[in-house]
Structure 1
Amino acid sequence: MRSIISLFVLGAGLGVVANPIVPYTVHEKRTSLPMGWSHSRRHDSSAALPLRFGLTQNNIADIGEYLHDVSHPDSPNYGKHWTASQIAEAFAPSDETVSNVHSWLIDNGFDSSRIRVTPAKSWIEVDATVEEAESLLRTEYNIYGHESGSEHVACESYHLPAHLIPHIDIVTPTVHFDAKLARRANAPPAVVNGKKPGMGNAPKTTGVVTNLLAGTDGCDQQITPACLQALYGLNYTPVSTSSNSIGIVEYTPQAFVQSDINMFASSYAPDLNGKAPVVVSIDGGVVQTTTTGFNDNGESNLDLQYAMSIVTAAQPVTLYQAGDIVEGASFNNFLDAIDGSYCTFEGGDAAGQDSAYPDTSAGGYNGKDCGTVTPANVISTSYTYNEGDLSVSYATRQCAEYAKLGLMGVTILYSSGDSGVAGSGGACLANNAFSPTFPGSCPYVTAVGATQINSGSTVSDPEGACEQVIYSGGGFSNYFSLPSYQSTAVSSFLTNYPPPYTSSQYNSTGQSRGIPDISANGANYVVAVDGSFSLVYGTSASSPVAAAIFTLINDARLAAGKAPIGFINPTIYSSAFNGAFNDITTGGNQGCGTNGFSSAPGWDPVTGLGTPNFPKLLSAWLALP
């Protein structure tokens, strides 16, 4: 797991410029627009455009080695996590990098008073006009429209002087589409009937259920906390709750409803009655009550009701509520809050993609949260992007931030998507090629897929890959290389169970990151939403359930005077954890006009290593230093 290595470079070549002594090179180039977007118009040349230059960080090529050193069970430094100050010192860009980029901007007519360098030296920002930015980057800026009504500022490609290529990772806004999408007016509820891949990243529902089943006899029809306890051996009472932590990330307007938690508690978790998550507001994040319904309350209610029930009422659960009701938020806005050096306030985000704060709109949040939030030991997010909607540089830069969190001992989990080998909304790449999701494809997060109790089976029978309403997201990254911790597992799958597809359909090199890493049940969850119980499906359920299970393991390690488990991937793929997950060998993840991949013995790109076997995982982790 050496470093973040991009497998495909999105463009290279020389640009013709007025000054032949300074050759310009294509730094990033987009070959197509993401699904749902179309060119609208040229951007106004006099419009303001806040340019952000992500400077190349020192030692970033070795971040995988550093993370491996504190995360692999055979390492003498296992569990010896870094402090935030150690991370800042290790990865700060060099003075040479800062000087070179600063001088280039001066040479191109930007007065030094307009150039701002972040305190951590990670970013340089310049507020330019579109005309100035186009001249500086040898590009043209356009406005793109989305079918939801959102608009986005971007270009098709941009150029940098050849001598600056080693010093600049990324320029924003440019080619990437990490866009915030407005909710379409009068959007239908996220209700799906039949065995088809779901649309979008939100959980899906088949509607209200009135005949609640008791005990574990009907877990193939209704998943409850009792079903999960039986499936994964969850017989543990937390004892280190004051020193332990778990965080669930939600993005406004998604909002939980306390009366729904109480309703859920009355049927399935009596200790949760009246219990609420600890809300940490990020950039004006608010648990809004203006709009309700499954689209607004389904995700957050699902995540919290099941995470809270597994860790019990004794363990506080932190809700990171990101974005005000006007702007909303993106993954980068969340990262801003837990890492000030990554923040727009100090020079970080992308205009037109990440929410801009302070928000001067009526009712907006007139501030910006940067480095104001302490990350929990385990953080779960049930939202994804399509990897192909982002540039390689953008995804790589964000991926490095997850590695830094891992170095600090934080376990980061992301759902792997609900559309099988297709991306969000069932979107595929050109010529119906498979579309992996991000951040799950980042080798420094743990991607969580979905399983199901097969019809007619019990909690004592093996689960299968989820094929009800949704299909477990999985496949192989087009951006990130195969991490060393996963090489044996991926090689074994491709050798023993070769997929019946060509390289035109998926990254068949055998040298790319495979997803997911693990899985958990994702079908037939009984969730209280707006005063009724609904059946809910999705990796949106799998990720918080896995996060809660790992939180219990952290509890036991903390009680034993040991460090949190941190970045788990090198550990769970190691021989020390053989058999610690319930292997899933049936079911597939169809999409893009195919049957997708198939589950198989060992790791597979449908359910990963399998579902947690809590007693075995607990024993294995307690045996580590």
Structure 2
Amino acid sequence: MLFLSTFIVVFAGLSSAKPFSGKRWDNPSLKHRWVEVPRGWEFHSTPAEDHLLEMRIGLKQNKLDELISSLYEVSDPDHERYGQHLSKAEVDALVAPHPDSVEAVEAWLQHHGINPDDAHFRSAGGEWISIHVSVAQAERMLDTKYGVYHHPASGSSVVRTMEYSLPAELHSHIDVITPTTYFGTFHSMRSTSFIETKPASLVDDAASFAAEISPLAVPASCGSTVTPACLRAMYNTTNYVPKATATNKLGVAGYLDEFANDAGEFRTDAVGGTFQHVQVNGGGNSQSQPGVEANLDIQYTEGISFPTPNIYYSTGGSPPFIKDTFTPTNTNEPYLDWLNFVLNQTVIPQTFTTSYGDDEQTVPQDYAVSVCNLFAQLGARGASIMFSSGDEGVGGGDCLTNDGTNRKIFQPAFPASCPFVTAVGGTTRVNPEVAVSFTGGGFSRYFSQPSYQTSSVTPFLTNLGTKFSGLFNASGRAYPDVSAAASGFQVVISGRTSSVGGTSASSPTVAGIVSLLNDFRISQGKAPLGFLNPLIYSTAKSGFNDIVSGSNPGCGQTGFTATTGWDPVTGLGTPDFLRLQQLV
């Protein structure tokens, strides 16, 4: 999910290019290897040698530590730099690679007949390079063999490899290369929403959606039949009118064939209004075949944040390719095109929500870390980023490890496990809310526990004792951070109402509330909230309704249990806008 701008390398005359001293590049060293084909995928065939791949090279960022330090400082309400978010130019300067890294990578490319001077474009910071290479050339560069792999459950096919290597010298200069060993696509990943079978609870008309509900008496029906009016009452936003609509914006990230209907407003004051469509890399906008996920997201971000401008990013995923019988057309990886686009904008929305994820162990760690660091860039620039925590509890399926040992352990979700995003879990019912059984939560095995959450997480771990010992990484980044309603959402899709559930509903709900908080701050002449976690785990902690019942079973286990204080089921709880407004 990253990459700023890309550049295309012209390959005319590659066969006549003269390589440099070959010995410098003749010592391949393993970068990443799978011991087995990732579960759910199967080898299909050998790709054509001339099939084009869009190879993306992520160079090590020379001042990444300084970027992360700046992110925490501008996000810490007790720090003198709080709210002093970085500009695009300042972030670009911090993520730029060291000149030695640039020299080494360019020399390696030249060795393989690729002239860097032919590049059409690089990322603004120079930390990402994108080139078009044939499968045959990629195999020579990475000392590997590519295959076409198929994912029967989703119908996805990708060109990937089980392992790849780089010359030993380049390991200190390159973080990750794609596409290589990350098999995920948005078709194969789990969208964190699903259609529920609740015909009796469906709201039949727009007027019912629009009817306001008193926060003092939220009806029990809102626990099973959720409308924007329910959420506005439950989380105390009903009477807030946005003022900074010329500045404040809310972005919804959508992918592949997920587009949103323009029609479907549930607020009488929003009739005739619409949202902005931004199509990235061939993303669609077919008003005749909208997506469930897309309509869920935009109908509820708008339902809460109106008249704040909403932007729906429809991101495609089909790079240039050579058509042949056995090679798929889609070799792009999740998030990369979207982040490439957004990070290259001078002005970005102050709030984002995304509702996709996968088991962390299915994402190569070098890829996950590189992607997570790109979210740090967005946060440093003043964006609040919400991700749904997943719908598999502590893990779905057999929960066996993919390292060859076949151990059963809890399976954390990525990108929810990234410490630079705000992960959103799910609840159900009202008066009181309880954890919904499918809400994802747990502890990362890739990312260590950030200091901002230690004081909140430690009491939970202390009380848990030795229960589930060995099934999770107690020193890992803990999630979710917060929660919101996740079941019974009434969504209009092609003119018909469906009941939708999942933490895909929770994330846009929280994003809508955060967008209102950003509106409030901006209207007071203050900076937007930016990266939320250091704030919500400290001075804003009391702005959440603690959820103290429910659990998130999975992996054949009962899962964690919601309790007083933070827990890996509902995090810090659900937001109360009026309390948070006083705290931010």
1:155 partner amino acid: T
For the Cα contact (< 8 Å) 1:441–1:480, is it kept in 2?
yes
Offset, 1:22: 5.4
| CA–CA separation in structure 2 for the residues paired with 1:112 and 1:332 | 21
Q: Which residue of 2 aligns with 1:343?
A: none
Offset, 1:80: 0.2
Q: 2:245 aligns with which of 241, 247, 252?
A: 241
Q: Which residue of 2 aligns with 1:134?
A: 139
Q: Which runs of 5+ in 1 are unaligned?
A: 1-17, 184-198, 341-370, 454-458
Say if 2:300 is the partner of 1:306: yes
| CA–CA separation in structure 2 for the residues paired with 1:210 and 1:609 | 29
Q: How does 1:237-386 map to 2 (within 5 A)?
A: 237-259=241-263, 261-262=264-265, 265=266, 269-291=267-289, 296-312=290-306, 314-323=307-316, 330-340=334-344, 371=345, 374-386=347-359
In structure 2, the residue corresponding to 1:219 is in which secondary structure?
helix
In structure 2, the residue corresponding to 1:579 is in which secondary structure?
helix
1:435 partner amino acid: Q
Cα 1:111–1:209 change in 2 (3 A) is same
Cα 1:450–1:160 change in 2 (3 A) is same
Cα 1:286–1:139 change in 2 (3 A) is closer
1:541 partner amino acid: A
For the Cα contact (< 8 Å) 1:376–1:410, is it kept in 2?
yes
| CA–CA separation in structure 2 for the residues paired with 1:520 and 1:50 | 38
Say if 2:157 is the partner of 1:151: yes
Q: Which residue of 2 aligns with 1:186?
A: none
In structure 2, the residue corresponding to 1:520 is in which secondary structure?
strand
| CA–CA separation in structure 2 for the residues paired with 1:581 and 1:180 | 32
Q: Which residue of 2 aligns with 1:188?
A: none
For the Cα contact (< 8 Å) 1:419–1:472, is it kept in 2?
yes
1:572 partner amino acid: I
| TM-score, with structure 2 as normaliser | 0.85
Offset, 1:447: 0.5
Q: 2:578 aligns with which of 590, 615, 620?
A: 615
Say if 2:88 is the partner of 1:84: yes
Q: C-alpha deviations, 1:47-102, integer Å up to 9, x for none?
A: 44443321111111343211111000110000000000011112111111111122
In structure 2, the residue corresponding to 1:384 is in which secondary structure?
strand
Cα 1:37–1:54 change in 2 (3 A) is same
In structure 1, the residue corresponding to 2:197 is in which secondary structure?
strand
In structure 2, the residue corresponding to 1:491 is in which secondary structure?
helix
Offset, 1:311: 1.6
In structure 2, the residue corresponding to 1:601 is in which secondary structure?
coil
In structure 1, the residue corresponding to 2:491 is in which secondary structure?
strand
Offset, 1:450: 0.3
Q: 1:401 aligns with which of 358, 365, 374?
A: 374
Say if 2:464 is the partner of 1:497: yes
For the Cα contact (< 8 Å) 2:412–2:442, is it kept in 1?
yes
For the Cα contact (< 8 Å) 2:562–2:568, is it kept in 1?
yes
Cα 1:131–1:309 change in 2 (3 A) is closer
Say if 2:531 is the partner of 1:563: no
Q: How does 1:96-135 map to 2 (within 5 A)?
A: 96-108=100-112, 110=114, 118=122, 120-135=125-140
In structure 2, the residue corresponding to 1:433 is in which secondary structure?
coil
Cα 1:109–1:207 change in 2 (3 A) is same
Say if 2:575 is the partner of 1:606: no
Offset, 1:125: 4.4
Q: C-alpha deviations, 1:473-492, integer Å up to 9, x for none?
A: 11111211111111222222
Q: 2:231 aligns with which of 228, 233, 240?
A: 228
Q: C-alpha deviations, 1:330-376, integer Å up to 9, x for none?
A: 31111111123xxxxxxxxxxxxxxxxxxxxxxxxxxxxxx4x8421
Cα 1:155–1:89 change in 2 (3 A) is same
| CA–CA separation in structure 2 for the residues paired with 1:252 and 1:137 | 28
Q: 1:93 aligns with which of 90, 97, 101?
A: 97
Cα 1:207–1:84 change in 2 (3 A) is same
Cα 1:105–1:115 change in 2 (3 A) is farther
Q: Which residue of 2 aligns with 1:420?
A: 393
Offset, 1:530: 2.9
For the Cα contact (< 8 Å) 1:432–1:593, is it kept in 2?
no
Say if 2:527 is the partner of 1:536: no
Cα 1:281–1:114 change in 2 (3 A) is closer
Q: Which residue of 1 aligns with 2:364?
A: 391
Identical-residue share of aligned pairs (%): 37
| CA–CA separation in structure 1 for the residues paired with 2:361 and 2:566 | 24
Say if 2:197 is the partner of 1:206: yes
Offset, 1:254: 1.9
| TM-score, with structure 1 as normaliser | 0.79
| CA–CA separation in structure 1 for the residues paired with 2:91 and 2:25 | 38
| CA–CA separation in structure 2 for the residues paired with 1:200 and 1:211 | 22
Offset, 1:394: 0.9
Offset, 1:420: 0.8
Offset, 1:134: 2.4
Offset, 1:472: 0.5
Say if 2:554 is the partner of 1:591: yes
In structure 1, the residue corresponding to 2:291 is in which secondary structure?
helix
With 72-81 and 299-308 compared, the bigger mean Cα shift is at 299-308
1:516 partner amino acid: P
For the Cα contact (< 8 Å) 1:208–1:533, is it kept in 2?
no
| CA–CA separation in structure 2 for the residues paired with 1:287 and 1:331 | 18
Cα 1:535–1:58 change in 2 (3 A) is same
